[in-house]
Every structure is written in C-alpha cells, then in structure tokens.
Amino acid sequence: MTDYSKSKLNRIKRGQIRASYDVEKINTILDAGFIGYVSYVYEGRAITLPMAYGRKDNKIYLHGSQANRMLLHLLESKKMSMTVMHLDALVLARSGLHHSVNYRSATLFGTIKNINDPKEKELALHCFMEHMMEGRWDGIRPMHQEELDRTLVVEMTIETASAKIRDVGVGDEPEDYNLDVWAGLIPIKQVAEYPVPDEGLPQKMEIPKHILDYYHQNK
C-alpha cells in the first residue's frame, strides 16, 4: 500500500479520522467518477468549474477549446488542483446540527502541461473516452485533424492528494437517542437508464454491446 506524502497543502485538519492518503483508494474514487471540480483565479476572482476528465496512472487529462480561459490560465500558472466527490447518503439525525451526508471525495494537487504532439494528444483523448465508457473509442469515427488542431488537451501530473470519506450512520448526542424522532440514512446513487437512440440511423441500429454493458453495470 502506497500513500501520498502529507504536507500543509493536502493534509486534512478537520475530521482526520475520515482522511486517507492511500493512492489506490484515491484512484478508486477517481475511477468511479467522470466530473471533477477545477478552480482557478481570474481577474482576482475565484472560479470553480465542473470538468470531465480521464485518468491513467498518476495523470489526469482535460480538454477544451484552444481559447478555453480556465485551461489557459492553469497552463500559465503551471499548477492546478481538482476535487471529485460522490454523494452516497443523506444522514438524518435527531438534531438539525447533526445532519450530515455520507460521501467519498478526493482532492488532487499537481503540475499541468499542454499536450501538443498529435499522437500524445490522441492517446490522451482515448484515455478520456475510455474513462467515460469502456469500449466507446472503437465504436466512433476517427477524429479529423482539424478537430485535433482546435482542441486544447492538458495533462495534470498528480503530485499529492488526499481523500475524505464518511461511510457511517447517525452520530447524535447520547441523550437524544430515545427521542421520538425518526433518524437514519437515505442511500443515494447515480444510475444509468436504458439507452435512448438519437434521431435518424441510430433508431434502426442495434445498441452496441459496450453501451449495453455500461447500462447493465450501472442500472
């Protein structure tokens, strides 16, 4: 088992009992998601945007247009952070201040670079597509060169990270447990519904296996 090194940057101060620096556990959280929240500063204002991502080893891949303001600012600073979070349950307590949620979150810190080499860019986009849905890359048409040229692809190298996980029940005051108040968990999960074909030819086609596999694994 390998842990990320702890520093002032990634050390969790509040709720340390829920902290983890385990690389494998953090990768599991990243692989269970597809959207991360990326922050940057523009003209003195902090802005956070959701971004789809792909992961391979300790690399995170993002992409956007060549004029993407956020990615250009991150490339200028050469550093970035990203947070991925999954909501697993509402925790309903007997007291309002003891209400909480069960969750899995990971925050990453690292360096960022622009990928200019066409082959490296295509490999990064392959990683992105396969992170979204395994097998999808082989089911779509090849990218045109002009599409690659107008797409900005960046690579983040994860240098350190931390996770915070809550997966327990209600934590009420001892004297409240006999109150006539319902308490417990409402589990929450994201599910896939049956695929809906686009207009035209897809309506006459069989749904590809990789799409049905994704549906059955996530319904």
- Render pLDDT for 165-210 as a digit per residue (tens, 0 to 9): 999 999 999 999 999 999 999 999 999 999 999 999 999 999 999 9
CATH code for position 125: 2.30.110.10
- 132: helix, coil or strand? helix
Q: What string of DSSP letters covers 44-77?
A: TEEEEEEEE-EEETTEEEEEEETT-HHHHHHHHH
Please tell me whether residues 66 and 86 are part of one structural domain. yes
- Cβ neighbours for 59, distance < 8 A, ≥ 6 positions apart: 127, 155, 156, 157, 158
110 in the same domain as 56: yes
The answer to whether position 7 is within a domain reads no
Q: Answer yes or no: is pLDDT of 25 > 90.
A: yes
Average pLDDT of the residues in 68-72? 95
Q: With contact defined as beta carbons under 8 Å apart, do 65 and 35 qualify?
A: no
Mean pLDDT score, 98-109: 98
Question: Domain limits at 107?
Answer: 16-188
Pairing outcome for strands 19-20 and 151-166: antiparallel
My answer on whether 90 and 178 are in the same domain is yes
According to DSSP, residue 205 is labeled: S
In a domain, 11, yes or no: no
Is 152 within a domain? yes
Residues 60 and 38 in one domain: yes
43-62 pLDDT, tens per residue? 889 999 999 999 999 999 99
111-159, pLDDT tens digit by residue? Answer: 999 999 999 999 999 999 999 999 999 999 999 999 999 999 999 999 9
Strands 45-52 and 100-114: unpaired
Same domain for 94 and 74, yes or no, is yes
Answer whether residue 15 shows pLDDT above 90.
no
